């Protein structure tokens, strides 16, 4: 593939709900431009874009793939993105590096959730729409058009009308050229004919909408249009180009990607009308070639054999193979050995790349997703990519006991590749916690760990880090006395325990007359702190306790620090048991953003989860619900919220405080802990 100047590059992302045909559209574009010799199919597992074993197995896109194609002396960088909510972070990365979005919509299913989410989250990126599957049962172009107008305030403007639908779909009326384009199924070939007579009235009416959109994008054209003068074909085209580049209208196409019908007219429009990379808002009005280098990594691939592969978009300046760049985020220089052009999983070396192009670089030492590569003398830092925060947590462990180190290394590699996972070791529960975007995301990660890194991993329920405390003031005695040839062991303490809401632990002493010598006070305190690591109810750490050593006794020969430590532990256990011990649970501050029509369901669900709704704030056409909910009830909330809101809800949570567990729930937790202890002892 040759190197293209900025003006000849078009960067587009194919986005939409899962199953709308994004990968099939990318495949047809590749086939029509000679990248492939046959039209691959998702169901057959032989497309250029879906090459990961997990994608072939599940027949879904899980990772954004770059599939560039050369068309009419232009290079179209096509980013095929996932359509499932669990992999939305891949869409977010792709949106940073494109100037145009092609929204895919099913002619029979209409606008589905993920399409709506992208449309809402990225209002400022210019969009085209492709109504796919026109040859399927129940295909209805005009119904989809109406749905688009209902969910968006954007100006929705068809540039084509379908000729026929379902099994009678055979072509489109081109409203720019006012001709009928008849498609040959599977080949991409087009025959130009006159518009069918029964469609002329509709074609004229929709062409008027198209002319109006063109006029509105250009002040001179609008003045002429409002004065009643007819616009020439060239003027209409000029206005359409302006509207497509600045996003003032969403131009709508239709066809069948899997049968390669209607793809070439879409590609013609992308080349002729879509914005080139100089229109990107990050670099608008800059001389891209004279500016110092600025390139941003939007995706990283971790491969156990070739190492890391960083995919990046060059915003300004040229980038060359065998050069040194400066990572502005890490403040370190990096050596670029070879620039690569990706096409699915294939890599082709190029000597250089111009501003606006999308390339890959292997084996950079420090660079990760979101980093800016620039020049040290004049560094530029591009704003970070804001990936969604993962919310579904679970514990994971290797199936083979000896694989802990192997798992740790593999997870580190996956963290480089996937910006939407978090991994940490909980020091209390001793579990490794993996936080992801959803259950499918978890499933894919576990499959990758096995396939790429040879670690078989199982997921387990995440243990809740409960605490124990006391509700009564008690006095307890602990005596450690042991006689065995020579020196014995003797330590004796009397300690008053009471609730201490102002902190985790406070140790005091009010010894009178040297009943316990001062040198043993630290041992008593240490013994209590060690005993507090495991409470008497269910073995959880103990908090919010004040201990006052007020009496005891010692032996001038047999007493020792160890003896007093053990005596303090005995006193602690006795005191805890009689001081009305209770369990405390972590309470989370939760913020949930949902469309208004789901409010009732969400609040009802929060109540069932022992949540307290603290308030609500309108945010556009949505509501932000603020609540406090026990962590134990939030373990599967990512999945619950998706189900309750059809995937339209978002939430985030953070730790607030600990609160007493209701008695009936405490009984179950204590009983479960008892059974686990018995099992472990066996």
Q: Which residue has the tokens 């770059």?
A: 66
Q: Which CATH class is domain 584-664?
A: alpha beta
In which band, very low, low, confident or very high, does the pLDDT at 72 lie, cut at 50, 70 and 90?
Answer: very high
pLDDT of residue 174: 97
Question: What count of other Cβ atoms lies within 10 Å of the Cβ of residue 390?
Answer: 21
* pLDDT score, position 485: 62
Give tens-digit pLDDT for 472-498.
999 999 999 987 666 789 999 999 999
DSSP sequence for 584-597:
EEEEEEEEEEEEGG
Quick check: pTM over 0.85? yes
Give CA–CA dist 277/317, Å, rounded.
Answer: 12
All CATH 3.30.70.870 domain ranges of the chain, comma separated, are 392-460
Average pLDDT on 455-466 reads: 91
- Tens of pLDDT, residues 351-364: 999 999 999 999 89
Q: Which superfamily does CATH assign the domain made up of 7-279 to?
A: P-loop containing nucleotide triphosphate hydrolases (3.40.50.300)
CATH 3.20.20.80 fits 294-374, yes or no: no
**Cβ within 8 Å of residue 392, ≥6 positions away:** 435, 436, 437, 438, 439, 441, 442, 636, 638, 639
**Is pLDDT at 583 greater than 90 in this prediction?**
yes
Highest CATH level, class, for 468-579: alpha beta
E-strand ranges in 257-399 read: 294-303, 307-316, 319-320, 323-327, 332-336, 339-343, 346-350, 352-353, 358-362, 372-374, 392-398
Q: Per the structure block, which two tokens stand in for 390?
A: 């993962």
pLDDT classification of 79: cutoffs 50, 70, 90:
very high
Distance CA 538, CA 469 (A): 11
**CATH 3.30.230.10 residue ranges in the chain?**
468-579
pLDDT level of residue 442 (50, 70, 90 thresholds): very high
Distant-in-sequence, close-in-space partners of 267: CB < 8 Å, separation ≥ 6: 29, 32, 33, 71, 76
Please list the residue range(s) of the chain that carry CATH number 3.40.50.300.
Answer: 7-279
The token pair at 575 is 């005191």
Residues of the chain with CATH 2.40.30.10: 294-374
Given the candidates 3.30.70.870, 3.30.70.20, 3.30.470.20, 1.20.810.10, the CATH classification of the domain at 392-460 is 3.30.70.870
Instruction: Name which of 366, 267, 382, 376 is nearest 313 in CA terms.
Output: 382
Bridge partners of 297, per DSSP, are 312
**In this predicted structure, which of 94-103, 170-179, 236-245, 422-431 has the lowest mean pLDDT?**
422-431
Distance CA 185, CA 192 (A): 15
Model confidence at 503: pLDDT above 70: yes
For residue 170, what are its two tokens? 């055979």
Backbone φ, ψ for residue 265 (5° rounding): -60, -35
All CATH 3.30.70.240 domain ranges of the chain, comma separated, are 584-664
Distances in whole angstroms, Cα of residue 450 to Cα of each of 254, 285, 441, 630: 41, 48, 14, 34
Give tens-digit pLDDT for 255-283: 999 999 999 999 999 999 999 999 888 88
197-226: average pLDDT: 93
């Amino acid at each position: 593939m040759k190197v293209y100047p900025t003006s000849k590059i078009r960067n587009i992302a194919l986005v939409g709900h899962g199953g709308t045909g994004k990968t099939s559209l990318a495949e047809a574009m590749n086939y029509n431009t000679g990248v492939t010799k046959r039209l691959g199919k998702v169901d057959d597992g032989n497309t250029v874009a879906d090459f990961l074993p997990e994608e072939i197995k599940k027949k879904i896109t899980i990772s954004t793939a770059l599939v560039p194609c050369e068309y009419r002396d232009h290079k179209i960088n096509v980013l095929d993105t996932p359509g499932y909510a669990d992999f939305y972070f891949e869409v977010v990365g792709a949106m940073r590096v494109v100037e145009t979005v092609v929204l895919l919509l099913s002619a029979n299913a209409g606008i589905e959730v993920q399409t709506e989410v992208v449309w809402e989250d990225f209002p400022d990126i210019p969009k085209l729409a492709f109504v796919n599957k026109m040859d399927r049962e129940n295909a209805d172009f005009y119904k989809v058009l109406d749905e688009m107008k209902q969910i968006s305030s954007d100006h929705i403007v068809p540039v084509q009308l379908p000729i026929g639908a379902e099994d009678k779909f055979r072509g489109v009326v081109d409203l720019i050229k006012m001709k009928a384009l008849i498609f040959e199924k599977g080949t991409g070939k087009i025959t130009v004919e006159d518009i069918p007579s029964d469609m002329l009235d509709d074609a004229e009416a929709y062409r008027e909408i198209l002319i109006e959109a063109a006029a509105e994008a250009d002040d001179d054209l609008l003045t002429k249009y409002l004065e009643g003068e007819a616009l020439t074909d060239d003027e209409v085209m000029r206005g359409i180009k302006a509207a497509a580049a600045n996003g003032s209208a969403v131009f709508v196409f239709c066809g069948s990607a899997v049968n390669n019908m209607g793809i070439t007219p879409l590609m013609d429009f992308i080349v002729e009308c879509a914005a080139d990379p100089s229109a990107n808002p990050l670099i608008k009005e800059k001389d891209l070639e004279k500016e110092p280098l600025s390139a941003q990594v939007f995706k990283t691939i971790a491969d156990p054999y070739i190492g890391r592969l960083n995919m990046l978009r060059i915003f300004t300046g040229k980038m060359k193979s065998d050069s040194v760049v400066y990572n502005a985020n890490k403040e370190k220089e990096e050596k670029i050995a070879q620039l690569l052009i990706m096409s699915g999983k294939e890599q082709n070396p190029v000597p250089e790349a111009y501003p606006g192009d999308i390339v890959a670089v292997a084996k950079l030492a420090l660079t990760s997703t979101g980093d800016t590569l620039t020049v040290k003398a004049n560094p530029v830092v591009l704003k970070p990519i804001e990936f969604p925060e993962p919310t579904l947590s679970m514990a994971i462990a290797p199936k083979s006991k000896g694989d802990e180190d192997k798992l740790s290394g593999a997870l580190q590699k996956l963290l480089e590749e996937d910006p939407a996972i978090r991994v940490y070791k909980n020091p209390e529960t001793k579990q490794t916690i993996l936080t992801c975007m959803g259950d499918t995301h978890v499933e894919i990660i576990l499959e990758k760990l096995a396939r790429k890194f040879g670690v078989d991993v199982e997921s387990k329920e995440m243990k809740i880090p409960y605490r124990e405390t006391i509700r009564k003031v008690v006095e307890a005695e602990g005596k450690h006395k042991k006689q065995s040839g020579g020196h014995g062991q003797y330590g004796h303490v009397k300690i008053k325990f009471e609730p201490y809401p102002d902190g985790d632990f406070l140790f005091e002493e009010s010894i009178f007359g040297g009943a316990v010598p001062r040198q043993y006070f630290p041992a008593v305190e240490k013994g209590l702190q060690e005993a507090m690591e495991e409470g008497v109810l269910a073995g959880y750490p103990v908090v919010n306790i004040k201990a006052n050593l007020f009496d005891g006794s010692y032996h001038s020969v047999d007493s020792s620090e160890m003896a007093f430590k053990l005596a303090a532990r005995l006193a602690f256990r006795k005191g805890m048991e009689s001081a009305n011990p209770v369990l405390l649970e972590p309470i989370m501050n939760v913020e949930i953003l949902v469309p208004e029509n789901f409010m009732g369901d969400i609040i009802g669900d929060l109540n069932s989860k022992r949540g307290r709704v603290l308030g609500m704030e309108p945010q556009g056409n949505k509501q932000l619900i603020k609540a406090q909910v026990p962590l134990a009830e939030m373990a599967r909330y990512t999945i619950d919220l998706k189900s309750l809101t059809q995937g339209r809800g978002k939430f985030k949570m953070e730790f607030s405080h600990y609160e007493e567990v209701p008695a009936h729930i405490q009984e179950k937790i204590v009983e479960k802990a008892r059974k686990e202890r018995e099992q472990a002892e066996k």
